[in-house]
């Protein structure tokens, strides 16, 4: 995981002052100056933010908020682009309307020099790149925000593809994450509309995801696991990994010479069967999800190649997902319930799949699912689009304040992506029909003798474990009760925020009472002509009125600054 150091005051903020000012300036430029004001940044950084020229703000009111957020990420560079790309697969963390927009984020990062490539290889393997590889091309064949790929050769092996991590990228990411974490903390403390989406948790989750992407050994493990899954499948080829020439910052893989699946004309020129390619690609995704639960989480057209004999070859396994068996089965049950138009059962399975803080209204959820079925499924199968189904299910979940787990969403998104590729290759291809046998097999597999025996064995194992530990646990509870040491630790979500708000309200009321008392007391002093007297008026009374006026202005400014009267 990438480390996040918290900003505690001016010292650490000033260390990254230029980057901080750039980030805030771009946020303001795209019309989010109100958020900067609401964050009360002047309490944390006493100098510097005033240098942001508000006259340079480029007001873009005609664009949606989601579009402007995407443009902010693109302008802020690699860390934020990667942040947006990861967020685009996290409906549990961000609003649904932002998912589609962030999915459009693209890397526009120039390649780094070959001297830097050679230095990284030398540092990782302790010897010059010429001793690690027989040759390596100086010009990369692909470049992205995290790294770039070069064609190379290994003695006795032949051509390989070498992915090298961008120099200094970890330090750049750590600086940006520190600033992002600070801004997220302020947003959670001061902006209720943003606090609902738990921005601190979003940044922390991002740090974990990015930490995995920065470790190329994780991608190597993903490749090897996928290769084992499809070792007996002649329609799929997974690139091999060369561990001896790989490390955390260098990944060496089999060099793939194929045609991108999106290049239909090139596939036809090669004499490949478009229909068979489409079926193989769809089966590749179905088997990952329904048979193994481990899947390529980013199967966009640029990551799918076609080899001779219509073989599918996926590349770039930096993002992979895993769906445990019970989640896969609940997903299959949800599909089956919707297909049978049993909305009560469908609502129950959707609740099993989703996360939520407060259980949704089951009757309202059933009604929304009924509307979903009428709108989407009462039509010929060929007209049904999985991408639209996914979007509608997400909107239903969001409406009922349910969060779809990230890996489940990645799986649904993978289905929709492959369907889009398949429709471009073969407009008559029916993804629903292709999935039907896998859904039926998934339901039937639960009734197999092997599965039943496994389930019974698991239940027996858990029962024996419970029987073994329950007596000692129960005796410990009795012992603690006898000593009077049992304590209940109850945490109420949002309670601290409520206490802080009540504390603020009570302070303002107390302040207002003091002001009222000063006014009344001063009026009494003036009315009684309490000395000293100046121009016929009590000086102490006048001083009291002035003090009350200053305190009143102070209170009013504090209220206006918070944006509430």
Give 10-residue mean pLDDT values along the chain (565 residues). 50 63 81 72 48 48 81 84 77 73 76 94 94 95 89 94 92 84 81 70 80 90 94 94 95 94 90 92 88 85 90 89 85 80 85 83 88 74 69 82 80 80 83 80 76 76 81 80 71 63 73 79 76 76 80 73 55
Strand-pairing partners, residue 322, are: 294
**Same domain for 193 and 75:** yes
In angstroms, what CA-CA distances link 25 with 12, 51, 52, 75, 159?
A: 19, 9, 6, 11, 46
Q: Any residues with CB less than 8 A from the CB of 68 and at least 6 apart, and which?
A: 30, 31, 32, 60
Which alpha helices (H) appear in 103-215, and where do they start and end?
114-125, 129-132, 169-190, 192-195, 199-213
In angstroms, what CA-CA distances link 334 with 222, 250, 317, 402, 444?
A: 28, 42, 28, 15, 15
Structure tokens at 368: 């929304």
**Same domain for 190 and 100:** yes
**Same domain for 418 and 388:** yes
What's this model's pTM, rounded to 2 decimal places?
A: 0.69
* Rounded-to-integer distance, Cα 69 and Cα 142, Å: 27
Q: Any residues with CB less than 8 A from the CB of 109 and at least 6 apart, and which?
A: 77, 78, 143, 144, 145, 166
Q: Is residue 301 part of a domain?
A: no
**Same domain for 426 and 354:** yes
Least Cα distance to 32 among 55, 57, 6 occurs for 57
Question: Of 92, 176, 215, 298, which is the active-site residue?
Answer: 298
**Same domain for 133 and 63:** no
Structure tokens at 378: 């009462």
* Rounded-to-integer distance, Cα 66 and Cα 97, Å: 7
**Same domain for 372 and 339:** yes
Q: Is residue 316 part of a domain?
A: no
Which alpha helices (H) appear in 94-147, and where do they start and end?
96-102, 114-125, 129-132
Strand-pairing partners, residue 159, are: 153
Residue 498: the pLDDT is 66
CATH number for the domain that contains residue 127:
3.30.200.20
* Rounded-to-integer distance, Cα 9 and Cα 25, Å: 20
Counted residue by residue, the chain has a size of 565
Q: Is residue 263 part of a domain?
A: no
**Same domain for 224 and 123:** yes
**Same domain for 501 and 429:** no
Radius of gyration of the chain (CA): 31
**Same domain for 49 and 100:** yes
564 burial class (0-12, 13-18, 19+ CB within 10 angstroms)? Answer: exposed
Q: Is residue 319 part of a domain?
A: no
**Same domain for 131 and 244:** yes
* Rounded-to-integer distance, Cα 87 and Cα 380, Å: 34
Say if CB 147 and CB 213 are below 8 A apart.
Answer: no
Say if CB 411 and CB 362 are below 8 A apart.
Answer: no
440-461 burial, b at 16+ Cβ within 10 Å, e below that, comes to: eebeeeeeeeeeeeeeeeeeee
Give the SS3 label for residue 301.
helix
List, as one string, the DSSP characters of 233-269.
-TTB-PPPB-GGG--SSEEEEEPP--EETT-HHHHHH
Hunting for tokens 């290994």 — which residue is that? Answer: 154
Q: Provide the domain count of the chain.
A: 5
Structure tokens at 359: 């259980």
Least Cα distance to 517 among 557, 479, 545, 477 occurs for 545
138 burial class (0-12, 13-18, 19+ CB within 10 angstroms)? Answer: exposed
Annotated active-site residue 361? The verdict is no
Q: Is residue 208 part of a domain?
A: yes
Q: Is residue 205 part of a domain?
A: yes
**Same domain for 521 and 394:** no
Hunting for tokens 């779809």 — which residue is that? Answer: 404
Q: Is residue 268 part of a domain?
A: no
Q: Which domain holds residue 146?
A: 110-165+215-255
What is the rounded end-to-end Cα distance, in angstroms, of the chain?
A: 43
Residue 154: the pLDDT is 95
List, as one string, the DSSP characters of 504-521.
HHHHHHHHHHHHHHHHHH
For strands 135-136 and 147-154, give the pairing: antiparallel
Hunting for tokens 């830097």 — which residue is that? Answer: 116
Q: Is residue 515 part of a domain?
A: yes
Biggest CA–CA distance in the chain, Å, is 108
Hunting for tokens 């685009």 — which residue is that? Answer: 88
Beta-carbon-side half-sphere exposure of residue 460 (alpha carbons within 13 Å): 6
Residue 251: the pLDDT is 96
**Same domain for 51 and 30:** yes
């Amino acid at each position: 995981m990438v480390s996040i150091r918290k900003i505690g005051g001016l010292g650490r903020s000033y260390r990254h002052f230029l980057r901080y000012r750039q980030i805030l300036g771009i946020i303001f430029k795209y019309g989010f100056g109100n958020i900067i004001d609401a964050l009360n940044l002047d309490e944390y950084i006493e100098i510097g933010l005033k240098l942001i020229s508000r006259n340079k703000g480029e007001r873009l009111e005609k664009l949606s908020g989601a579009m402007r957020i995407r443009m902010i990420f693109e302008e802020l560079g690699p860390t934020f682009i990667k942040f947006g790309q990861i967020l685009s697969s996290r409906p549990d963390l961000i609003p649904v309307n932002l998912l589609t927009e962030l999915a459009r984020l693209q890397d526009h990062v120039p390649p780094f020099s070959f001297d830097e490539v050679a230095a990284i290889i030398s540092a990782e393997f302790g010897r010059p790149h010429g001793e690690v590889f027989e040759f390596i091309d100086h010009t990369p064949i692909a470049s992205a925000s995290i790294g770039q790929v070069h064609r190379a050769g290994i003695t006795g092996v032949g051509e390989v593809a070498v992915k090298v991590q961008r120099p200094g990228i970890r330090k750049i990411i750590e600086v940006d994450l520190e600033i992002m974490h600070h801004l997220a903390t302020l947003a959670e403390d001061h902006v209720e509309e943003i606090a609902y989406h738990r921005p601190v948790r979003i940044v922390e989750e991002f740090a974990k995801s990015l930490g995995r992407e920065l470790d190329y050994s994780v991608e190597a493990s993903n490749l090897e696991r996928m290769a084992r899954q499809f070792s007996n499948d002649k329609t799929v080829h997974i690139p091999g990994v060369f561990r001896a020439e790989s490390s955390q910052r260098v990944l060496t893989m089999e060099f793939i010479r194929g045609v991108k699946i999106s290049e239909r004309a090139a596939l036809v020129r090669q004499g490949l069967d478009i229909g068979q390619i489409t079926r193989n690609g769809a089966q590749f995704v179905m088997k990952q999800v329904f048979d193994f639960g481990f899947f390529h989480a980013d199967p966009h057209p640029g990551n799918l190649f076609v080899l001779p004999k219509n073989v599918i070859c996926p590349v770039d396994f930096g993002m992979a997902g895993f769906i445990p068996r019970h989640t896969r089965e609940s997903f299959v049950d949800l599909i089956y319930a919707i297909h049978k138009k049993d909305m009560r059962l469908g609502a129950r399975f959707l609740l099993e799949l989703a996360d939520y803080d407060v259980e949704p209204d089951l009757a309202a959820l059933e009604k929304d699912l009924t509307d979903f079925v009428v709108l989407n499924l009462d039509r010929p199968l060929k007209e049904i689009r999985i991408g639209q189904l996914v979007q509608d299910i997400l909107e239903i979940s969001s409406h009922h304040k349910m969060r779809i787990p990230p890996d489940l969403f990645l799986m649904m998104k993978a289905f929709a992506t492959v369907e889009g590729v398949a429709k471009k290759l073969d407009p008559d291809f029916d993804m629903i029909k292709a999935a039907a046998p896998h859904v039926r097999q998934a339901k039937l597999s639960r009734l197999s003798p092997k599965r039943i025996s496994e389930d019974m064995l698991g239940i027996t194992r858990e029962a024996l474990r419970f029987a073994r530990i329950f007596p000692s646990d129960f005796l410990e509870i009795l012992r603690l009760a006898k000593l009077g040491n049992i304590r209940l630790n109850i945490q109420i979500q949002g309670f601290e925020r409520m206490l802080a708000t009540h504390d603020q309200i009570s302070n303002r009321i107390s302040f207002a009472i003091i002001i009222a008392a000063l006014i009344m007391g001063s009026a009494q002093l003036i009315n009684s002509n309490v000395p000293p007297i100046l121009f016929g008026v009590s000086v102490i009374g006048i001083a009291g009125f002035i003090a009350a006026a200053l305190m009143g202005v102070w209170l009013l400014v504090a209220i206006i600054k918070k944006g509430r009267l």
